[in-house]
Amino acid sequence: MIVDIINKKRLGKELSFHELDWFFNGYLEGKVKDYQMASLLMAICIQGMSDEETFALTKVFIDSGDTLDLSFLNTTTVDKHSTGGIGDKTTLIIAPIVASVGIPILKMSGRGLGYTGGTIDKLESIPGFRVDLSEEEVMYQVQNIGIVITGQTASLAPMDKKIYALRDVTGTVSSIPLIASSIMSKKIAGGTDKILIDIKVGNGALLQTKEDAQKLSDLVIKIGDIYQKEVHTIISDMNTPLGYCIGNSLEVMEAIKILKGEEKDNNLTQLCLELASEMICMAKGVSKANAIDMVRETIESGNAYQKFLELVEAQHGDLDKLSASRKSKIIKSPKDGQVQAISAIELGKLSVLLGAGRLSKEDSIDYGVGVELLVQVGDSVKKGDSLAKIYYTKAPHLQGIEDIFVIK
Ligand code: URA
């Protein structure tokens, strides 16, 4: 039976709900082995899945755990998910912004795997910050201060957690139906009314083309319809990293600067404005222009940063102890010219090499290391000008560093 199902998908045939349910639950129970699940996932990657199969798989994932009921909040809830990118610290910025205008934020985030970082690792770079809250603690905190960001509780779509870890190490992450069922099962089980998905495209993203991003967008909207969840999507660039910093504590420091209104306009501030205002529109039914004004005002008044401080305090973080590595090295421009590109994927690789990310589930993270860009795309530079500052603990071999910046 196990091999029959793998062969059926290998030949491009459609699997029934029963077959998917049996196979995936068998994996959770240990009857289906890692190598058999990996084989089916690869067949799915190559042959794809019909919409019906994707809907069935999403249901199997949701039914593997509990579904939260957020009706006690007595208001429209909206959650955001990103397909992941380099320097993507948007959650750290938009969650306090949106919560500070009165929209409750209950965010269950993931750790970084591969070259993309994870919100939970970033928050853990704040000494003491707890990311393992129980369901009761989550509910208490969201009701009391209107914001909570924690790791996914064990009871929420546990099958997705197990499958995602296997996908990550078997080259089966970039499958549109697998991404759609993974994201949507978590969001639906999380109980939110509305969902905003930031679909990243580019060399530092799971999806490389706008066409694939559009296919994922269509699919998540269809899944949302089945569960009466309004889903909006934004397709955003991930050829260039977001903002100036890559690395856990560096990214928290950058997020704080933006929340304090101290950062100039850049690709990160623009995306945060777009995402936060969209969430406000979805939750409050106001116009986009109105929502944009609300975002600007809550930053200017200090309310957004205040909400961030409340979040950190509630989850026992100590911002006074947040720090970057003391050892650093400047990367200089090898020539005169204009910065035409800064490769997200190459920076992702460098940050993992420095210890800011993990390549296998067991790797530990060095929170203080990373890269701070000192230029942005479009800047003119002279030979010898500083391009980036590298924070390290163990002196890195900087081979390939020239692939990061395209200067012409
Ligand atoms: N994010 C998820 O949660 N799941 C995926 O499969 C990809 C990105």
Q: Which of 167, 200, 232, 284 is catalytic?
A: 167
**pLDDT given for residue 168 in this prediction:** 82
Give the residue among 84, 80, 59, 58 at the shortest CA–CA distance from 182: 58
**pLDDT given for residue 299 in this prediction:** 98
Q: Which two tokens stand for residue 110?
A: 């993931």
pLDDT, one tens digit per residue, over 348-364 is: 999 999 999 877 767 78
The 3-state DSSP class for residue 154 equals coil
What gap in Å lies between CA 50 and CA 9, rounded to an integer? 11
Q: Can you tell me which atom of ligand 1 is nearest the CA of 167?
A: 6
What gap in Å lies between CA 73 and CA 178, rounded to an integer? 31
What gap in Å lies between CA 76 and CA 79, rounded to an integer? 10
Q: How confident is the model at residue 395 (pLDDT cuts 50, 70, 90)?
A: confident
Average pLDDT of the chain is 95
The 3-state DSSP class for residue 364 equals coil
Q: Given a cut of 80, is residue 336 above it in pLDDT?
A: yes
Q: Is residue 332 annotated as a catalytic residue, yes or no? A: no
Mean pLDDT, rounded, for 306-334 = 97
289 contact partners, CB below 8 Å, separation of at least 6? none
**pLDDT given for residue 397 in this prediction:** 79
- Exposure of 395 by Cβ count < 10 A (0-12 exposed, 13-18 middle, 19+ buried)? exposed
What gap in Å lies between CA 283 and CA 277, rounded to an integer? 10
Å from CA of 339 to ligand 1 middle: 32
Q: What pairs with residue 233 in β-bridges?
A: 197
What gap in Å lies between CA 68 and CA 59, rounded to an integer? 15
**pLDDT given for residue 361 in this prediction:** 66
Q: Specify the amino acid at residue 217.
A: S
- Exposure of 190 by Cβ count < 10 A (0-12 exposed, 13-18 middle, 19+ buried)? buried
Name which residue sits closest to atom 2 of ligand 1, judged by CA.
Answer: 183
Mean pLDDT, rounded, for 293-311 = 98
Name which residue sits closest to atom 6 of ligand 1, judged by CA.
Answer: 179
Question: Ligand 1 pocket: which residues have CB below 6 Å?
Answer: 83-84, 164, 178-179, 182-183, 206
Name which residue sits closest to atom 7 of ligand 1, judged by CA.
Answer: 179
DSSP-assigned states of every residue in 106-119: EEEE---BTTB--H
99 contact partners, CB below 8 Å, separation of at least 6? 105, 145, 146, 147, 307, 311
Pocket of ligand 1, candidates 116, 182, 220: which has the most ligand atoms within 8 Å of its Cβ, to mutate?
182
Residues 125, 129, 135: CA angle, nearest 5 degrees: 130
Q: How confident is the model at residue 292 (pLDDT cuts 50, 70, 90)?
A: very high
The 3-state DSSP class for residue 307 equals helix
pLDDT, one tens digit per residue, over 108-136 is: 998 876 777 789 999 999 999 999 999 99
Mean pLDDT, rounded, for 54-60 = 98
Å from CA of 183 to ligand 1 middle: 5
Q: Give the containing element (helix H, strand E) for 149.
A: strand 147-151
What gap in Å lies between CA 74 and CA 190, rounded to an integer? 16
